[in-house]
Amino acid sequence: MEQGSRLRYGPKKRNAAWIWGEGPIVVFVHGWNGSAVQLAPLAQRIAGRGFRCVAIDVTGHGGSQGNRTGWRHFIDDVAALTEALGTAVYAYVGHSAGGLTLMAARAIRGIRAEKYVCVCTPSHPFPPIRAVKGNLDPPPRTLGAYQDFIASQFDSTWQELTEGRAFLGANADLLLFYDQTDRFVDHTEGDRIKSWCSGAQLTKTSGYGHMKVLGAPELEQSIAGFLLGTGVNSD
């Protein structure tokens, strides 16, 4: 992290992001309970290929203030960081929840880029629902109310989210990257999203899982090829 510069963004500059390199801007968004630290090695390597890479700490994560967070914090913070940068973003790269929320932020907050990359990203915000069902086994009415609460943070209904609302309009500008041994977000989520997004590119690895995939050389190569237009390794 010491090799990058820190940028403060958002209301009262309470949130932090880290910057490496020079060139077209690529924003990296971590997942739930993650931080910019997890994405820093990947961001630095992509910066070495001629990009200005910015890794965000969402509210309540890493160097950003706050003792609670939510899906809407991810969406609004990506927009706030984009505004703070003050120039066009070439690409957004999101891991897990970061990928889902940056895609949703296109319609909700109007962010725009030439390219988008989703790494081990769920097709809709089902992981917390799965956790609640497994740990608490609530009655259907309670579970439905929780689904509605999550959907409200996306300015949507739960049904719309399950049908791919967050990914509407994404096509050849989208790269999907998954690992077949991921036990948190199944790799078939990539196939589901690709079915909604004509022309999207899908790449899969095996043996890394949900977190270690961030250090996979195949991920760096695929992202670099996608951003530079030199080709992507396919599954």
Q: Which H helix or E strand runs over 152?
A: helix 140-152
Residue 64 to residue 66: CA distance in whole angstroms: 7
The pLDDT value recorded for residue 231 is 76
The pLDDT value recorded for residue 173 is 98
0.85 surpassed by pTM:
yes
The pLDDT value recorded for residue 11 is 86
Residue 204 to residue 190: CA distance in whole angstroms: 9
Residue 206: which residues within 8 A CB-CB, separation 6 or more?
179, 180, 181
Residue 161 to residue 122: CA distance in whole angstroms: 11
The pLDDT value recorded for residue 199 is 95
Compute φ and ψ for 67, nearest 5 degrees.
Answer: -110, 15
Residue 147 to residue 170: CA distance in whole angstroms: 24
Domain boundaries, the chain: 5-123+164-228
Fold classification of 5-123+164-228 (topology level): Rossmann fold (3.40.50)
pLDDT digits (tens, 9 = 90+) for 73-121: 999 999 999 999 999 999 999 999 999 999 999 999 999 999 999 999 9
C-alpha distances out from residue 107 to 76, 87, 195, Å: 12, 19, 20
The list of the chain residues with pLDDT below 70 reads 1, 233-235
The pLDDT value recorded for residue 232 is 72
